[in-house]
Structure 1
Amino acid sequence: MSPDEDDLVHATQAPVLSAAWAFAGAFWADRDLDAAWLYVDPLLRRCWAQMWLFPLLDVAREDGHDPEAVVEAFTADVPDHDLWPPFARTQLRHADLPVDRETWGVKVNPELIAPDIELVHLMPIPEGGVLYPGETRTAVPLLMRYEDGPGWRLLNFVSPAVPAPGWPPAMG
């Protein structure tokens, strides 16, 4: 590959890698779900909210909350619902991946899954900063989807599968 072709490849990968790292940095390193939420695809927002609310459905209803209305409120860029703070607290409590900006990163060359979906891998940075062919590392899958307007956003971080809404949702 020529240097010009190499530069073009890196330039086309930069937006998806930047969005993946923006979510990972905000969620795991900064522990700020409000900031991370801006990088989460509405489909994942819906499934994530359903996953959290599913074991609490009876309690939510007893407390006067319509589960579908809660989930719908959580799909917004900035959720405005009284259950958002407890949701955010519980999610951050369980966000125990030891990501920091000095020793973790996203692997270049994301995998193309569909024309608008790519799989990025979040992992500890290897010694020397290079992952050699055949070398394996433990990695967190960050499935990213592109949409005109907002650009690249996180579609799944539980698995490399596209999530499906439901009670409970299918996360892969």
Structure 2
Amino acid sequence: MRRLGMDDSESLAQAAVADAAHKFLLSAAGDGGLLRAWPLVDPTLRICLAQLWVHANRGPITRLDFDFEEVAAALAKEGPGHRLWSNFETVTVRALRKTVYAGIGDNPENWGIASAPRLIDVETKLLYVHDVSKLPGAVWESDTYSIVVPMVMRLTDGEWRVLNVGSDVVPEPGWPPRLRH
């Protein structure tokens, strides 16, 4: 559906953001896994997810004599760069699925992304993912109540990548990282 006043270049730009978000959702929360979705994740979210997992598993990681910073950095890299990757992936995918499924259900056929992202800054946009099966005509109207899953997207190295899921906050690395208000 075309918005009034939207030219073709604006429409294509919005489609690129939504397409990247949809690919991530299908990989991480759909039938894929984190490894397949990892290239679609912004480096800031990568390190925040790794720090979150390391922080939650401080005891076992300490007993294994690993350095927290080194583990987080290795997990945040492209692919399974650490022997703890499979544990990290399992927990992270479970948490992502819980966030997505609680908001929009577990059927990817019903996941729809609003056509007009909100601008956070020039390279960062906020999208809302809806369960379109619960919307009249599968279209969200601005005065209609709908449970959504927010997704923050950022243009990184010329590609739209996921900066946060389930929150409209731009995440901040740290111990623990800040992913929500």
- Alignment-derived partner of residue 139 in structure 1: 148
Letter paired with 2:121: A
Alpha-carbon RMSD across the aligned residues, in angstroms, is: 2.0
- Alignment-derived partner of residue 62 in structure 1: 63
Aligned residues: 171
Q: How does 1:127-166 map to 2 (within 5 A)?
A: 127-149=136-158, 151-166=159-174
Moved more, 57-66 or 36-45: 57-66
- C-alpha displacement at 1:3, in angstroms? 7.8
1:170 and 2:178 matched: yes
- C-alpha displacement at 1:141, in angstroms? 0.7
TM-score, with length taken from structure 1: 0.90
Give the distance between the partners of 1:2 and 1:63, measured in 2 at CA.
55
Percent identity among equivalent residues?
A: 34
Give the distance between the partners of 1:46 and 1:158, measured in 2 at CA.
17
**Equivalent pair of 2:28/2:34 in contact (CA under 8 Å):** yes
Change (3 A) 1:61 1:123: same
Moved more, 97-106 or 42-51: 97-106
**Equivalent pair of 2:49/2:92 in contact (CA under 8 Å):** no
Flag structure 2 segments of 5+ consecutive residues without an equivalent.
Answer: none
Q: Alignment partner of 2:109: what SS?
A: coil
Give the distance between the partners of 2:157 and 2:32, measured in 1 at CA.
28
Give the distance between the partners of 2:106 and 2:36, measured in 1 at CA.
16
Flag structure 1 segments of 5+ consecutive residues without an equivalent.
Answer: none
TM-score, with length taken from structure 2: 0.86
Letter paired with 2:33: D
- Alignment-derived partner of residue 94 in structure 2: 93
